[in-house]
């Protein structure tokens, strides 16, 4: 039974991880919480849904297209909303408000365009779980877990081993100095948003496959935020770690306490971390320079 819960926890945790990583990536470079992140994952989820169920596009291509689509939307948001603010050196508050604006805009647009209904992804596998000893693992859960792990590995390879990745990390560490070193912040930030959007879109699709797709699923982003905070905002490994922790806590709370109060546990964890360990488990405490 416990093993079962662990598997569940890992599964949902890996979905959270996809979303939290994108969130943390944007935070590490621009130092603000992109509240519109949720709507990007929602768009990815819908794209995947329509591609799979309506256009009957093969699964791998759907995956790729949804990620690219979500990534492009994210880039557009950055280009038209955040970049002008960045160039004007606007205070973080303005970014947050603009993000909120995008969130409201996209969510309600989706309600109109996609109709306020829950969508179910077509079933790709048999429901028969794979048995490993006592533990029954859903094929879907396994797939989600592996896709997430694969994507995270590719992402981390990209960030830590490529030149562009180094540019991203440099910009995250010190924006001004990086631009003085010849790194074009506009391009780097555009790429960051594309990556963040892509992972979010993927996460949205995976979530849609496991649960459901709907215009207001962007609210999932709060979980991503909690996960990112627990792991340490701005830290990518932290986002992943936090996501799995959150996934576990939620599954166990849901299983052993009460499923309707599950979210309360998530909020409680967030509050506890924010108060007692604000830099999270793996994050660095960046205090303001006078």
Partner 1 sequence: MSIYIQGIVYLFSINLISVMGLSLLTGFTGSFCFGQAGFMAVGAYTSGMLTKLVGWPLWLGIICGALAGALISIPIGLPTLKLKGDYFAIATLGFAEAVRLILENLQQYTGGARGIPGIETMDSPVPVLIIALVIYVLIRFYVASTHGRSCIAIREDEMAANCIGINSPRMKTISFFVNGLLAGLAGALLAHYVGFIQPSMFGMAKSTELIIMVIFGGMHSVTGALLSTVMLTSLPELLRAASIWRLVAYGLLVVIIMVVRPEGLLGSWELSIASLKQIWNNLFNRKPSVKEGN
Task: Give whichever of 79 and 139 is closer to partner 1, judged by the CB atom.
Answer: 79
Nearest distance from C-beta of residue 233 to partner 1, angstroms: 8
**Residue 100 contacts partner 1 per CB under 8 A:** yes
Binding of partner 1 by 61 (CB under 8 A): no
Out of 18, 75, 98, 217, the residue judged to bind partner 1 by CB under 8 A: 98
In this chain, which of 108, 166, 179, 279 binds partner 1, going by CB under 8 A?
108
**Residue of 2, 61, 101, 187 that binds partner 1 (CB under 8 A):** 101
277 is a site residue for partner 1 (CB under 8 A)? no
User: With respect to partner 1, which residue has the nearer C-beta, 146 or 256?
Assistant: 256
**Binder among 28, 62, 107, 251 for partner 1 (CB under 8 A):** 107
Q: Which of 219, 256, 257, 284 binds partner 1 (CB under 8 A)?
A: 219
- Choose which of 229, 230, 245, 246 interacts with partner 1 (CB under 8 A): 229
Using CB under 8 A, which of 49, 175, 194, 225 touches partner 1?
225
Asked whether position 281 contacts partner 1 by CB under 8 A, the answer is: no
**Residue range at the interface with partner 1 (CB under 8 A); choices 139-147, 161-169, 183-191, 268-276:** 268-276
DSSP states of the chain: -HHHHHHHHHHHHHHHHHHHHHHHHHHHHH-S--TTHHHHHHHHHHHHHIIIIIS---HHHHHHHHHHHHHHHHHHHIIIIIHHHHHTT--HHHHHHHHHHHHHHHHHHHHHHH-S--B-PPP-S-SPPEEETTEEE-HHHHHHHHHHHHHHHHHHHHHHHSHHHHHHHHHHH-HHHHHHTT--HHHHHHHHHHHHHHHHHHHHHHHHHHS-B-TTGGGGHHHHHHHHHHH-TT-HHHHHHHHHHHHHHHHHHHHHT-STTHHHHHHHHHHHHHHH-TTTTT----PPP-
* Residue 73 vs 144, nearer CB to partner 1: 73
């Amino acid at each position: 039974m416990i093993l079962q819960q662990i598997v569940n926890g890992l599964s949902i945790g890996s979905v959270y991880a996809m979303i939290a990583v994108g969130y943390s990536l944007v935070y590490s470079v621009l130092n603000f919480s992109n509240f519109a992140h949720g709507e990007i994952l929602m768009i990815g989820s819908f794209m995947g849904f329509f591609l799979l169920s309506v256009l009957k596009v093969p699964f791998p291509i759907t995956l790729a297209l949804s990620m690219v689509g979500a990534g492009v939307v994210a880039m557009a948001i950055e280009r038209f909303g955040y970049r002008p603010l960045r160039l004007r050196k606007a205070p973080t508050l303005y970014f947050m408000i603009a993000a909120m604006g995008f969130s409201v805009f996209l969510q309600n647009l989706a309600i109109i365009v996609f109709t306020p209904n829950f969508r179910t992804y077509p079933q790709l596998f048999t429901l028969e779980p794979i048995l490993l000893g006592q533990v029954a693992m859903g094929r879907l859960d396994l797939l989600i877990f592996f896709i997430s792990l694969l994507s995270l590995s590719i992402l981390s390879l990209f960030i830590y081993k490529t030149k562009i990745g180094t540019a991203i990390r440099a910009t995250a560490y010190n924006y001004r100095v990086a631009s003085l070193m010849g790194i074009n912040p506009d391009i780097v930030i555009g790429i960051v948003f594309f990556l963040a959007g892509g992972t979010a879109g993927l996460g949205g699709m995976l979530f849609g496959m496991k649960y459901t797709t709907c215009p207001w699923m962007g609210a999932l982003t709060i979980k991503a935020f909690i996960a990112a905070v627990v792991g340490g905002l701005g830290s990518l490994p932290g986002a992943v770690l936090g996501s799995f922790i959150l996934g576990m806590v939620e599954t166990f709370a849901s299983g052993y306490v009460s499923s309707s109060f599950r979210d309360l546990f998530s909020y409680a964890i967030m509050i506890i971390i924010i108060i007692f360990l604000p830099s999270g488990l793996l994050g660095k405490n960046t205090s303001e320079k006078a």
